[in-house]
Structure 1
Amino acid sequence: MSTSSNAPYHHGNLRQALLEAALIILERDGEAGLGLRDLARAVGVSPAAPYRHFDSRAALLEALAVTGFQRFTTAMTDVAQSHPGDVLTAMGKTYVLFALNNTALFRLMFSPQLKRDNRPGLRMAADAAFATLSLVSGGDTPGGRIAALAAWARVHGLAVLLLDGQIAIEAGEDIEALITEIVDKH
């Protein structure tokens, strides 16, 4: 395989390496700083190599959002299994902390630009994430869907308010304690 560097390059899982590098670039430079040629350079492959895995920048963004939803779903499932007490509060805190720790990825996951309806893989990943919340909030009972949507709206709104700096964090304030207190008001 030809590369953009002088040394030959061989990678066992180029797609995964591209996604991991893209996640780093996304968090560092934002979505605008993410291009397939720059990604190829960062991984040390030819400019054409990423196109074997992503036919366009939009396909790369979709794959990143799917990866984000998969990681998010895993985190939500793990917290649901490890917090038998108030699972909904623990999941809500996990949701907000995921957003704060993965700002650009979180924004990409919920970007209207991706239009999930036109991207079945992304729709499935987003639905799987919602299903974890729905199970905990009684999604299969009468009114369960509304309860799940209300819980989602609460934590998503809190996450966006914090990301946008709309909630001032006072000096010395414990952000995790604040999140828990707000989310616990369900």
Structure 2
Amino acid sequence: MTSQRAYHHGDLRRAVLTAALDVIRDSGPTALSLRDLARRAGVSHAAPAHHFKDRAGLLTAIATEGYELLADALADAPGLRERGVRYVRFCREHPAHFQVMFAPELLREDDPALVAARERAGEQLRAGVEELESSARGEDARLAGVAAWALAHGFATLLLGRNLEGPLAGRDPEEVFRTLTGLLFQPG
């Protein structure tokens, strides 16, 4: 008599997401396989499809979770500079989410949960720009927001890609980011 695998799993969705985040962190999002994730979670190869349908569904769930985590990280930050610091911190603490969030070709862009989470994170980013005095942001607050996001996102992306190891020379990336914004946005 052959033993049958138990199909009950305490929280299969979370187990698959956690395994997927580990794979992405180590090998990138293109290395994901639902079959491999099922093996890691100790369930049948078809079990993850019940929660995510396919690879794009899984990656969309990861991106959605990432945007929610980012929105939470940015909430109540005192000022634009600290929102940027929290953006950089989010990248360091959630590198796998960060990689997937900004890879629209891997996602179901019209997924309602993704759209809502992305909008919530965007609102938190824009809230920092709205705190600037109108003279500091010029005529177009939206462009000021793009500039601030580009700086934080660019710094975070370079950091994640290990392109700043030399220039940072072991210094705390968050403090370096604060210094950088101070150099670029000094009054006068």
Q: Distance in 1 between matches of 2:50 and 2:6?
A: 18
- Deviation of 1:146 (Å): 2.5
Secondary structure in 2 aligned to 1:95?
A: helix
1:10-46 deviation per Cα after TM superposition (whole angstroms, max 9, x unaligned): 3343222221222222212321221111111111111
User: So what's the TM-score if we normalise by structure 1?
Assistant: 0.80
Match of 2:129 among 120, 137, 146: 137
How many residue pairs get aligned? The number is: 175
Match of 1:88 among 80, 88, 96: 80
Q: Distance in 1 between matches of 2:90 and 2:97?
A: 9
Q: Distance in 2 between matches of 1:7 and 1:121?
A: 33
- Deviation of 1:116 (Å): 6.2
Q: Distance in 2 between matches of 1:69 and 1:155?
A: 15
Q: Distance in 2 between matches of 1:8 and 1:115?
A: 31
- Are the counterparts in 2 of residues 89 and 183 from structure 1 also a CA contact under 8 Å? yes
**Identity of counterpart residues, as a percentage?**
40
The equivalent of 1:13 in structure 2 is 11
The equivalent of 2:97 in structure 1 is 105
Q: Distance in 2 between matches of 1:182 and 1:137?
A: 17
User: So what's the TM-score if we normalise by structure 2?
Assistant: 0.79
- Are the counterparts in 1 of residues 5 and 43 from structure 2 also a CA contact under 8 Å? no
Q: Distance in 2 between matches of 1:171 and 1:147?
A: 30
Change (3 A) 1:66 1:172: closer
- Are the counterparts in 2 of residues 138 and 145 from structure 1 also a CA contact under 8 Å? no
The equivalent of 2:26 in structure 1 is 28
- Are the counterparts in 2 of residues 40 and 50 from structure 1 also a CA contact under 8 Å? yes
The equivalent of 1:64 in structure 2 is 62
The equivalent of 1:153 in structure 2 is 150
User: Structure 1: which 5+ runs fail to align?
Assistant: none
- Are the counterparts in 1 of residues 16 and 37 from structure 2 also a CA contact under 8 Å? yes
- Deviation of 1:103 (Å): 2.5
Q: Distance in 1 between matches of 2:107 and 2:9?
A: 32
Change (3 A) 1:181 1:40: same
